Amino acid sequence: MRAMVLTEISSFAENREPLKMVHMPDPVPADGEILIKVSACGVCHTELDEIEGRTPPARFPMVLGHQAVGKVLETGKGASRLKPGDRVGVGWIFSSCGKCHFCLSGDENLCRDFKATGRDANGGYAEYMTIPEAFACRIPDTFSDLEAAPLLCAGAIGYRSLRLTNMKEGQRLGLTGFGASAHLVLKMVRHRLPDSDVFVFARS
Ligand SMILES: [Zn+2]
Ligand SMILES: [Zn+2]
């Protein structure tokens, strides 16, 4: 398959094309995993943090990308929740132990065995990828592939933040910065809380 890989840490200011296109063997789903034919994968600021070494990949070369949408092609042994043809999305959480108190309380990102998509395991900037089926989610028909991809990180982060505010209709919201997440939160608030004012604090 073709994939865009990161082979070393570098400064984006000096190296404007840090990802290289390579041919590599198609991944094979292990037990409990699914093989996905990727159709879209979003871009996140975290990729820049990986490229510049603030959250470096576990090994090189690494296929980055953690907002991937595609169709299930094949299921590994023991994977039964998803079937070939299902459209799924993959976010930042590639896997976790599933047993510790963080995993059991829905905070898998804090698990000691947490693995990140596109940092600790190959991600979505490729024609195919594999992931444990428990960490792939079905994508509703409402969204096109391109619409769904950014929801898998920027959208999820914004949704979670908005939920944690316990904001009610008519209350005012302030967004610090206006990037991938905030522009989606703005639409979400407009839709869910149409009587609320939204303020954006940004700089030129
Ligand atoms: Zn992200
Ligand atoms: Zn765990």
Q: What architecture is domain 2-143?
A: Alpha-Beta Complex (3.90)
User: Which ligand is nearest to the Cα of residue 111, counting in written order?
Assistant: 2
Cα of 191 to ligand 2 centre, how many Å? 35
Q: What is the pLDDT of residue 113?
A: 97
Model pTM score:
0.93
User: Which ligand is nearest to the Cα of residue 67, counting in written order?
Assistant: 1
The distance of Cα 91 from the centroid of its chain, to the nearest Å, equals 3
Structure tokens, 56: 């470096």
Structure tokens, 27: 């991944």
- Model pLDDT for residues 122-168, shown as the tens digit of each residue: 999 999 999 999 999 999 999 999 999 999 999 999 999 999 999 99
Cα of 47 to ligand 1 centre, how many Å? 7
Q: What is the pLDDT of residue 203?
A: 84
Report the chain's mean pLDDT, rounded to a whole number: 96
pLDDT category at 204 given cuts 50, 70, 90 is confident
- Model pLDDT for residues 29-67, shown as the tens digit of each residue: 999 999 999 999 999 999 999 999 999 999 999 999 999
Q: What is the pLDDT of residue 41?
A: 98
In DSSP notation, 6-74 reads E-S---TTT-S--EEEEE-PPP---TTEEEEEEEEE---HHHHHHHTTSS--SSSSEE--S-EEEEEEE
Domains in the chain: boundaries: 2-143, 159-201
